[in-house]
Structure 1
Amino acid sequence: MAYDEGLAHRLGDALGPLPGIGTKKMFGSLVFMWNGNMLVGVLGPDLIARVGPEAQADALAQPGARVFDFTGRPMNGWVVVDGGAVAEDTALEDWIARCREFVEALPPK
């Protein structure tokens, strides 16, 4: 499955100034790593958001969010956000902020 290069570019622009950001292609998606930890990604037309287990219920209550069930087993602490729900830069930045809040507390890898 190809990923939305436009969304990937927007993520790259938004995350570019953050020290320790890198990218990695995985399973047909593109993920953005922060200090070696997965932060966000693009899978098909959608955003993959790592919000953490404690914030998952709140994240799933947001427009366009659903359980991340890529492998047939839901991934705890992750959600998928419909690409249309992050079409506006402010919405994308809000999701990035949610993810940063969780990943920032993780030790670097």
Structure 2
Amino acid sequence: MNDLQWYRLYSDSEPIVEKELLNKLLSNGALAKFALVRHNGEYKAMLYVNGKRINGPALPEPLTTPNGEVTHWMGNKPGVGLTTSEAEMIIQAVTDRIERAR
């Protein structure tokens, strides 16, 4: 493996933020940021709360029982609720980026 190949492996071990998609101020005062990232060679959405990466699904997931306008979620302790339009915007941004990468 040459030096350039090693760099590519190392540089993709942490998520690379391509752009922020959505910022939300949560009811507890925390700031949630949803970003389009490249991680392990794949494009996905990632949630950050107060700058800390929160593991969870790569795209918003539907709630089994929607609560008012909140129909989707991302994250894993804490999970953050999303409206249908917010979830669709995130999914569309990730899908468009995956299509451009092909």
TM superposition score normalised by structure 1: 0.28
Q: Which structure: larger Rg?
A: 2
TM-score by length of 2: 0.29
Q: Which structure has greater strand proportion? A: 2
